[in-house]
Chains A and B, each alone.
Chain A
Amino acid sequence: MNAAAPIVSAKALTKRFAETAAVDGLSFTVNRGEIFGLVGPDGAGKTTTMRMLAGVLPPDTGSIVVDGIDVVSKPEEGKQHISYMPQRFGLYEDLTVDENIRFYADLFEVAAGVREERAQRLLTASGMSQFRSRLAGQLSGGMKQKLGLTCALVHTPKILLLDEPTTGVDPVSRRDFWRILYGLREQGVTILITTAYLDEAERCNRLALLHAGRILYCDTPVALKQRMPGALLVISSPAGRKVRAAIVGQAGVSNVILVGDGVHVVVDDPHTCIPELGDALQRAGVPFTGIVAGEPSIEDVFVSLLENTGKTQ
């Protein structure tokens, strides 16, 4: 098979549930060995897309080819090569860590020696080796997710589908998690991940921004940032909401995003806007400690791209 050809190719996927079009004409490709991120607000259609790729939900229309296998017409063939980790914890809470691993290894017919070696390595990497005889239901959220990943990796998938694997996971576990993912990428495993954390999106090779079942943009994080119209200003202030109220609607200001210690403002021209915004804030009597030009995060990009879409629609 051609190594340069995309390993996943989805074309014109649609899936309706009664009145809602959960996925509405989605097309994208994933290259071999990359980490591909699907990002979007709740209800954007991320889970539905993942399910269709995993072969557990047939699309209404469209085609999915994973490593040369037509997943829509032959879902069972694809399942040999795909590992899917659902958004909702799907392991058996009344089975121990080891029993869960063994169960999935057996379903994928992994030899006992191989299973043991992999389980050992993966559990050590995620700091879970001392919990092997603990019931899965008694693990913390982060550990559950790492167990899910271990089970997903106990066979050798060509492609790994992770649906919000780090939601509700503590920062340390998230770091472990990503370290494992990078290791996998080095081994040539292709990873498709959805995430609600936009800082995580930045770790992906490529990103698709999903909204209402459609892909708005699909590119590398760097390229996406360049697509952001205008420039970003960071206003540091203890009263972010007041700042926003004072500057929304000013000439040249297209987006105001609340962040922890102030606001991010997307503007057309930073040189003229910095003094103008300073004046506006002083007039309104809102306290602030500085206005500087900043590097947009993927979150800024995402919010401003989404808002622009909303305006043009």
Chain B
Amino acid sequence: MKLRRLRAIAIKEILQIWRDPRSLMIALLLPFTQMFLLGYGVNLDLKHLPVCTFDREGSQLSQALLKHFQASQYFAIVRNVASYPQLVSAIDHATCGLAIVIPPDFSERLNETGTAPVQAILDGTDDNTANIAFGYAAAVVESYSADVQLNWLDRQGRQLQQIQPMSVQSRVWFNEDLESRNFIIPGLVAVIMALIGAQLTSLTISREWERGTMELLVSTPVRPIELMFGKLAPYLVLGWVDAAFCVGIATLWFGVPFQGTLLTLFLTTTLFLTVVLSLGYLLSVLIRSQVGASQIALLVTMMPTTLLSGYIFPIDQMPKFIRALTYLLYSRYFVTIIKAIFLKGSGISELMTPILFLIVYAVAVMCLAARALRKSLG
């Protein structure tokens, strides 16, 4: 392998990427559109969650708000309590998953200042349900009046702690299920990286065929491996930028806490990018049309990654046969890795098994791609 030829290919590819601002913009905007689209599109169904109410005012206005809850298919009011201890006990005994507290000055404040806070107390033991419930509660409140503010009280575990009121900007977004996002969004980063990565490189060789530059290229002494690394290198850099965008949106916009180290994230992301970029490149070698290659790339990345990687549907709840299939899917390993880094702060040593799987995958795909490229028109 000659470094000089590899560099020549890389420089050429960079110039071409640079001179094609439209594709470059798409490559850089995809993380944004996909993160927002899929980040907000996450929709876990919740039906008839038991609700306790503590109406401290008992006015027409407050009852009207509670009727909205009753009317919603997501909630079922099971008890009306008359004191905080009763309410706390109802949550602690899991009689209800959500308690709504309407303050004694609800109507007054609504009439005077135009806004009034309402508290939502949630059973925090089940993150997912709590988050989704809060999102729907916020939606119900919003449908009642845009000016009622829903405050979140989290009730962690079974000990009686001091209840910490938490003010949440609940009126801005429908379906704002903050913490189930914490769980899903790191996996979503993996899904989007798989999608973008394979898309980026799926065009590289097919473009040479379509533009008629391949005939001249294969008549030079360039070796397939130089061509492959030369073409992958610039897209790896672009992939890093996209990954940084995704992680930035996950942490800064969706507020997902990041427990791990950036170095672990960088190394594992690079490994995963290597897998998906090589996969896209392999498709580009095999399919000589740009449209065809990119369609197939979409098919082999997006679908299995969404369904089988465990980013949203837990793998251990899948049928045995499907579960076995997921071991073949590269993104499954990265979903595991990135969730562990985000949520548990895992380091390289704890993630060795999925990392090894990814390394095997990367090497295998690159070997295939290097061999699949035949320097011939036949």
What is A's interface to B at a CB cutoff of 8 Å? Answer: 51, 54-58, 75-76, 79-80, 82, 84-86, 88-95, 99, 102-104, 106-109, 135
| Closest B residue by C-beta to A100 | B12
- CB-defined contacts of B212 to chain A, threshold 8 Å: 86, 88-90
B215 touches A56 (CB 8 A): yes
B213 touches A91 (CB 8 A): yes
- CB-defined contacts of B216 to chain A, threshold 8 Å: 84-86, 90-91
A90 touches B220 (CB 8 A): no
Q: Does B329 belong to the interface (CB within 8 Å)? A: no
What is B's interface to A at a CB cutoff of 8 Å? Answer: 2, 4-5, 7-8, 11-12, 15-16, 19-20, 211-223, 375-378
| Closest A residue by C-beta to B6 | A106
B215 touches A58 (CB 8 A): no
**Given A56-B377, A79-B221, list of 19 further CB < 8 A pairs?**
A56-B376, A57-B376, A57-B378, A58-B378, A76-B375, A82-B219, A84-B219, A88-B212, A89-B212, A90-B216, A93-B211, A94-B15, A99-B15, A102-B8, A103-B8, A106-B4, A107-B8, A108-B220, A108-B221
B5 touches A109 (CB 8 A): yes
| Closest B residue by C-beta to A95 | B15
Shortest B216–chain A CB gap in Å is: 3
| Closest B residue by C-beta to A79 | B221
Query: Given the complex of chains A and B, what is the CA–CA distance between A298 and B15 in angstroms?
Result: 46
- CB-defined contacts of B375 to chain A, threshold 8 Å: 56, 75-76
- Given the interface contacts A56-B377, A106-B4, does A92 sit within 8 Å of B213 by beta carbon? yes
- CB-defined contacts of A57 to chain B, threshold 8 Å: 376-378
A95 touches B16 (CB 8 A): yes
Query: Given the complex of chains A and B, what is the CA–CA distance between A64 and B2 in angstroms?
Result: 27
- Given the interface contacts A56-B377, A91-B213, A95-B12, does A106 sit within 8 Å of B219 by beta carbon? no
Query: Given the complex of chains A and B, what is the CA–CA distance between A89 and B215 in angstroms?
Result: 9
B376 touches A106 (CB 8 A): no
| Closest B residue by C-beta to A102 | B8
**Pairs A–B under 8 Å by Cβ, sample size 30:** A51-B377, A54-B219, A56-B218, A56-B219, A56-B376, A57-B376, A58-B378, A75-B375, A76-B375, A79-B220, A79-B221, A82-B219, A85-B216, A86-B212, A86-B216, A89-B212, A90-B216, A92-B12, A92-B16, A93-B211, A95-B12, A103-B8, A103-B11, A103-B12, A106-B5, A106-B8, A107-B5, A108-B221, A109-B2, A109-B5
- Given the interface contacts A99-B15, A106-B8, does A55 sit within 8 Å of B219 by beta carbon? yes
A106 touches B19 (CB 8 A): no
Query: Given the complex of chains A and B, what is the CA–CA distance between A135 and B223 in angstroms?
Result: 26
- CB-defined contacts of B219 to chain A, threshold 8 Å: 54-56, 79, 82, 84, 86
A80 touches B12 (CB 8 A): no
Shortest A211–chain B CB gap in Å is: 23
Shortest B14–chain A CB gap in Å is: 11
- CB-defined contacts of A80 to chain B, threshold 8 Å: 221
Query: Given the complex of chains A and B, what is the CA–CA distance between A188 and B134 in angstroms?
Result: 83
B5 touches A94 (CB 8 A): no
Query: Given the complex of chains A and B, what is the CA–CA distance between A99 and B9 in angstroms?
Result: 11
Query: Given the complex of chains A and B, what is the CA–CA distance between A12 and B213 in angstroms?
Result: 29
Shortest A48–chain B CB gap in Å is: 10
- CB-defined contacts of B4 to chain A, threshold 8 Å: 106, 109
- CB-defined contacts of A108 to chain B, threshold 8 Å: 220-221
Query: Given the complex of chains A and B, what is the CA–CA distance between A108 and B213 in angstroms?
Result: 17
Tell which of A88, A103, A107 touches B221, judged by Cβ atoms closer than 8 Å.
Answer: A107
- CB-defined contacts of B221 to chain A, threshold 8 Å: 76, 79-80, 107-108
Shortest B11–chain A CB gap in Å is: 8
Query: Given the complex of chains A and B, what is the CA–CA distance between A93 and B15 in angstroms?
Result: 11
List the 3 closest A-B pairs by CB distance, nearest first: A90-B216, A106-B8, A84-B219
Shortest A240–chain B CB gap in Å is: 38
- CB-defined contacts of B19 to chain A, threshold 8 Å: 94-95, 135
**Among B7, B211, B216, which residue has the most Cβ atoms of chain A within 10 A?**
B216
Shortest B9–chain A CB gap in Å is: 8
- CB-defined contacts of A76 to chain B, threshold 8 Å: 221, 223, 375
**Among A56, A79, A91, which residue has the most Cβ atoms of chain B within 10 A?**
A56
Shortest B244–chain A CB gap in Å is: 27
Tell which of A88, A104, A107 touches B215, judged by Cβ atoms closer than 8 Å.
Answer: A88
Shortest B57–chain A CB gap in Å is: 69
Query: Given the complex of chains A and B, what is the CA–CA distance between A205 and B279 in angstroms?
Result: 50
- CB-defined contacts of B20 to chain A, threshold 8 Å: 94
Query: Given the complex of chains A and B, what is the CA–CA distance between A91 and B213 in angstroms?
Result: 6
**Among B8, B212, B220, which residue has the most Cβ atoms of chain A within 10 A?**
B220
B16 touches A94 (CB 8 A): yes
Shortest A76–chain B CB gap in Å is: 7
| Closest B residue by C-beta to A82 | B219
Query: Given the complex of chains A and B, what is the CA–CA distance between A88 and B220 in angstroms?
Result: 16
Shortest A56–chain B CB gap in Å is: 5
- CB-defined contacts of A82 to chain B, threshold 8 Å: 219
B16 touches A107 (CB 8 A): no
Query: Given the complex of chains A and B, what is the CA–CA distance between A95 and B211 in angstroms?
Result: 13
**Among B2, B7, B8, which residue has the most Cβ atoms of chain A within 10 A?**
B8
- CB-defined contacts of B215 to chain A, threshold 8 Å: 51, 56, 86, 88, 90
Query: Given the complex of chains A and B, what is the CA–CA distance between A93 and B315 in angstroms?
Result: 48
- CB-defined contacts of B213 to chain A, threshold 8 Å: 90-92
| Closest A residue by C-beta to B16 | A94
- CB-defined contacts of B220 to chain A, threshold 8 Å: 79, 104, 107-108
- CB-defined contacts of B5 to chain A, threshold 8 Å: 106-107, 109
Shortest A294–chain B CB gap in Å is: 41
Query: Given the complex of chains A and B, what is the CA–CA distance between A55 and B2 in angstroms?
Result: 21
| Closest B residue by C-beta to A81 | B221
Shortest B28–chain A CB gap in Å is: 19
Query: Given the complex of chains A and B, what is the CA–CA distance between A106 and B3 in angstroms?
Result: 10
Query: Given the complex of chains A and B, what is the CA–CA distance between A75 and B12 in angstroms?
Result: 25
Shortest B54–chain A CB gap in Å is: 67
Shortest A194–chain B CB gap in Å is: 15
- CB-defined contacts of A109 to chain B, threshold 8 Å: 2, 4-5
Shortest A110–chain B CB gap in Å is: 10
- Given the interface contacts A56-B377, A76-B375, A84-B216, does A107 sit within 8 Å of B222 by beta carbon? yes
